Structure 1
Amino acid sequence: MFTTYRSRLMQAIVGGAILAGAQSLSFGALADTTLNALFMAQAAYSEDNVRAMTADFEAANPGVKINLEFVPYEGLHDKTTLAQGAGGGYDVVLFDVIWPAEFAENKVLLDVTDKVTQEMKDGVLPGAWTTVEYQNKRYGLPWILDTKYLFYNTEILEKAGIKTPPKTWAELLDQAKIIKEKKLAEFPIVWSWAQAEAAICDYTTLVSAFGGSFLDADGKPAFQTGGGVDALKYMADSLDAGLSNPNSKEYLEEDVRRVFSSGEAAFALNWTYMYNMANGDPKESKIVGKVGVVPAPGVEGKSEASAVNGSMGLGITSTSKHPDEAWNYIAFMTSKAEQEKFAKLSLPIWADSYSSPAVTTGQEALVAAAKTSLGLMFPRPTTPTYQQMSTQLQQAIHAALLKQATPEEALKTAAESAGGGL
């Protein structure tokens, strides 16, 4: 997911004014406490942003120091589990919405259900809590609330005579065909379909639109039938028609951002962070002021729109020697004031924030899309063996996109391979 630039904010913040959903917590801690925290070197908040937030925390808590480590998303899971197996190393870790089941079963994260304050329970959006929950327990606090949106180049659509962005996935292909025929973009659509979790997120968005399921009522694979097959057929057909950029098969989200921000694509499916980078940062984009955003489309007769749950949480490892100080740190990082300060990078988890000018000003279109999309976020399966299932699906998607198998054949093979471990 991504690189952003922002000046470091070094102004000290007084503890009580910062907290909103954590007012009852005291940020005082024992002197000379050092916490080790593992974050992602991409997506939503950049390294500079995380360092700025952490500097705010350290200024309000002079007895606590935070050692920050950043790794790419693709290395975040294994870095966390390997450190745990070696006897610790981290106090706080960033984790994806797809990992709580595994991390809970393997006792990687502390159950913090009893630490969650009433203010947090009442103030955080209900859907955000699903990011950190497993079997009615909470294993951290939601931090990055995210889904994928359909971004479009308003100038290209205007030149093509297209008055409104697509509301269905079929209409997206129709509009892309017009744009291609008018030579306004060689490949109008760009995706992140590299053999990685990125492809699963795009696929999940389409599965939700086509009314598919990953698992049946017995917990067995169901993606090889119905909407799961329709979603993969759609992906393959868009490549065959020359409407999707063929390099999408090797792209991650940052590649999508660069192609879209250069003006080469009319449409892109990507996370929240791309909106302000592409639409408002001339150092990063050639199409500033020309970016539209709407919920990912639906399928006629099946859905009005579609969305994937791409959120992430902050948790405390079970091997942490300083769990109280670690809790104070993640409560601060997820607090309403800190989230609103950086709302141009990631939309807040707090319900009240969506009526705050600090959040809405300058990104009214994004907030409007979010009000629909955040209520539709479709989950990837909650299972302790998710990594195995994801790997099988990634291979199936690529087999179909590379024409090594039909979508039906590829997904059938994946279901047979993953089924035994689910």
Structure 2
Amino acid sequence: MQPIASPLTRRRLLAGAAGAPALLAGLSGGDAAAQSGGTVNFIGWSAAVDQVRAQISAFERATNVRVNYENFPWAQFRTALVTRLVGNAPIDVSWISDAWLPEFVEAGWLADINDIPQLMRYNADAADYCTQSMVYRGKQYGLAYYGDHMSFMYNTELLERAGITTLPTTWEEVVQQSLRIKQQGIVEFPLLLSLAADTWLIEFVSALTYAFGGRMVDDAGNAVMADANRGAVRAARFIREAIATHRILSPGAVETGEINGLRAMGSGQHAFAIVPTYRIRALNDPSQASAAGKIRIALMPKGGPDGTNNTLGWIRFYGMTPAAKADRARRERAVRFMEFFGGRDTGGNYSMQKLLLTDVGLPSCALPVNQDADVTAFWNRWAGGGAVIAQQAMLAKKKDTIAPWFGEWVETSNQAWQAVCLGRAEPEAAMRTAAAKWTELRRAFR
């Protein structure tokens, strides 16, 4: 995500959107042509392109509505999308990251779907964190493309070599078992956390914070991360002690990005790790990982006296533009498209969700998908079963730090967590720094 420039205010954000022709002002000539031709204009990033094209073909056959599909690499997608939105390009539906939701709503680039029962009915089938991740100021802005969460993974072979027969249920037990593995000389750093200062860091530390019973921000939007009991201090102290006291987590974790962490876990260098669930397929693929067949998933361990099995969940979703919603014909086509892709197809099946999982390993927000025989076979093959994954998904929570100023705040947050890892700041002081920045940006957003 591109950082939002400082200082950030409500006036400035809305002014940026007002600088272009209003999205509700009507259709351009291109829009009129699309309307007469019965076309949905859809833009996404360059992921699962073959699967998207296959679903588009199925949609066109089933509805006689054509789809104009554009995609851009993830690194350029946000800029490309914003440029088109500001320029009033004829976009009907686009993929959206949950991290962008508040900013896009405030700028007038997304339309809510609360008054579209045809789409809202799918909330009944969705994991709660997925639905909540599409809600801003009480309104919902889309249907999920996919949803995933952080999982606690372990290497069965390393545990067996250490004589460990019971999986850890608390982070204290993770420490104890890691020390046992380390003392036997099996691996030097049994625990893996990818703590490089990149876009994944907030996902990893939020998952750990939730497991320790804490939060970054409360329901009212106030920063509580510095609270010793209900914030992120306990999670931060755990990381610091894992590195400096127990030495079960490598000091190099601060330079380990998510993809390098994946490779390290796949090579059998670590016994325990927090990893995005969708990576389980790669970790158990013999063509990609030497530890294939040995990586399994357990519930997120509980941390400290108020620990929970909660983890962090995130989603990507289909969002409709206000221009599409304002035009009756465009709205009808966009709704049909969103339902076919983010809900059930005309045959009543969650075909896109199943395709994304079985073809590319992306988990679904739609709970009924888990009952499909092919989905069951997928999880059996790549994860040794899907029961724990389904249970963990029900315990996932959305990022509580999603706000219009998230892009700027997360830079300070990343620096604070890195300072803890490097021993340059105590957990309490680091979290106070992150909390102060949050409060500053929140006050500036008027």
Q: Which TM-score tier does this pair reach, normalised by the shorter chain? A: 0.7 to 0.9
User: Is residue 169–residue 297 contact of structure 1 (8 Å, CA) maintained in 2?
Assistant: yes
**Who is 2:270 aligned against?**
265
Q: Deviations over 1:230-274 (max 9, x none)?
A: 111112222224322344323332222222112222222111211
2:346 aligned with 1:342, yes or no? no
User: Is residue 275–residue 366 contact of structure 1 (8 Å, CA) maintained in 2?
Assistant: no
Partner amino acid for 2:404?
A: P
Q: Deviations over 1:264-307 (max 9, x none)?
A: 2222211121112212x222222222111012211253234130
Aligned with 2:149 (options 147, 150, 159):
147
Query: CA 1:49 to 1:258, structure 2 compared with 1: closer, same or farther past 3 Å?
Result: farther
CA distance in 2, matches of 1:192, 1:163: 26
1:201 to partner: Cα distance:
0.9
Query: CA 1:285 to 1:217, structure 2 compared with 1: closer, same or farther past 3 Å?
Result: closer
User: Is residue 167–residue 304 contact of structure 1 (8 Å, CA) maintained in 2?
Assistant: no
1:324-363 correspondence to structure 2 within 5 Å: 324-335=332-343, 336-344=350-358, 345-363=361-379
CA distance in 1, matches of 2:57, 2:194: 33
Partner amino acid for 2:370?
A: Y
Q: Deviations over 1:179-198 (max 9, x none)?
A: 22222223222222221231
**Who is 1:68 aligned against?**
70
2:357 alignment partner, SS class? coil
**Who is 1:31 aligned against?**
37
1:343 alignment partner, SS class? helix
Query: CA 1:329 to 1:201, structure 2 compared with 1: closer, same or farther past 3 Å?
Result: same
2:152 alignment partner, SS class? strand
**Who is 2:248 aligned against?**
243
1:67-106 correspondence to structure 2 within 5 Å: 67-72=69-74, 76-88=77-89, 90-106=91-107
CA distance in 1, matches of 2:294, 2:277: 16
1:78 to partner: Cα distance:
4.6
Partner amino acid for 2:354?
A: E
Q: Deviations over 1:50-85 (max 9, x none)?
A: 44444443454565233332333x655454434433
**Who is 2:204 aligned against?**
202
Q: Deviations over 1:376-399 (max 9, x none)?
A: 223322433222332221121122
**Who is 1:376 aligned against?**
395
TM-score, with normalisation over the residues of structure 2? 0.78
CA distance in 1, matches of 2:422, 2:91: 40
RMSD: 2.8
Structure 1's unaligned 5+ residue stretches are 2-27
User: Is residue 129–residue 398 contact of structure 2 (8 Å, CA) maintained in 1?
Assistant: no
Q: Deviations over 1:187-241 (max 9, x none)?
A: 2222222212311111111111222222246532110122411111112222224
CA distance in 2, matches of 1:248, 1:61: 50
**Who is 1:256 aligned against?**
261
Partner amino acid for 2:95?
A: L
2:70 alignment partner, SS class? strand
2:419 alignment partner, SS class? helix
1:308 alignment partner, SS class? strand
1:90 to partner: Cα distance:
4.5
- How many percent identity over aligned positions? 25
1:352 to partner: Cα distance:
2.2
Residue correspondences, number? 390
Partner amino acid for 1:194?
A: A
**Who is 2:5 aligned against?**
none
CA distance in 2, matches of 1:251, 1:47: 29
1:1-400 correspondence to structure 2 within 5 Å: 31=37, 33=39, 35-39=41-45, 41=47, 46-60=48-62, 63-72=65-74, 76-88=77-89, 90-117=91-118, 119-216=121-218, 219-226=221-228, 227-240=231-244, 241-279=246-284, 281-319=285-323, 322-335=330-343, 336-344=350-358, 345-364=361-380, 365=384, 367-381=386-400, 382-400=402-420
CA distance in 2, matches of 1:246, 1:91: 47
Query: CA 1:301 to 1:328, structure 2 compared with 1: closer, same or farther past 3 Å?
Result: same
Structure 2's unaligned 5+ residue stretches are 2-33, 344-349
Query: CA 1:220 to 1:123, structure 2 compared with 1: closer, same or farther past 3 Å?
Result: closer
Query: CA 1:385 to 1:47, structure 2 compared with 1: closer, same or farther past 3 Å?
Result: same
**Who is 1:21 aligned against?**
none
Query: CA 1:305 to 1:394, structure 2 compared with 1: closer, same or farther past 3 Å?
Result: same
Query: CA 1:315 to 1:186, structure 2 compared with 1: closer, same or farther past 3 Å?
Result: same
User: Is residue 190–residue 260 contact of structure 1 (8 Å, CA) maintained in 2?
Assistant: yes
User: Is residue 110–residue 315 contact of structure 1 (8 Å, CA) maintained in 2?
Assistant: yes
- Bigger mean CA offset, 404-413 vs 222-231: 404-413
User: Is residue 94–residue 313 contact of structure 1 (8 Å, CA) maintained in 2?
Assistant: yes
- Bigger mean CA offset, 381-390 vs 138-147: 381-390
Query: CA 1:217 to 1:155, structure 2 compared with 1: closer, same or farther past 3 Å?
Result: closer
CA distance in 1, matches of 2:435, 2:308: 28
Query: CA 1:312 to 1:158, structure 2 compared with 1: closer, same or farther past 3 Å?
Result: same
User: Is residue 34–residue 65 contact of structure 1 (8 Å, CA) maintained in 2?
Assistant: yes
CA distance in 2, matches of 1:246, 1:326: 49
Query: CA 1:404 to 1:54, structure 2 compared with 1: closer, same or farther past 3 Å?
Result: farther
CA distance in 2, matches of 1:218, 1:306: 20
User: Is residue 280–residue 295 contact of structure 2 (8 Å, CA) maintained in 1?
Assistant: yes
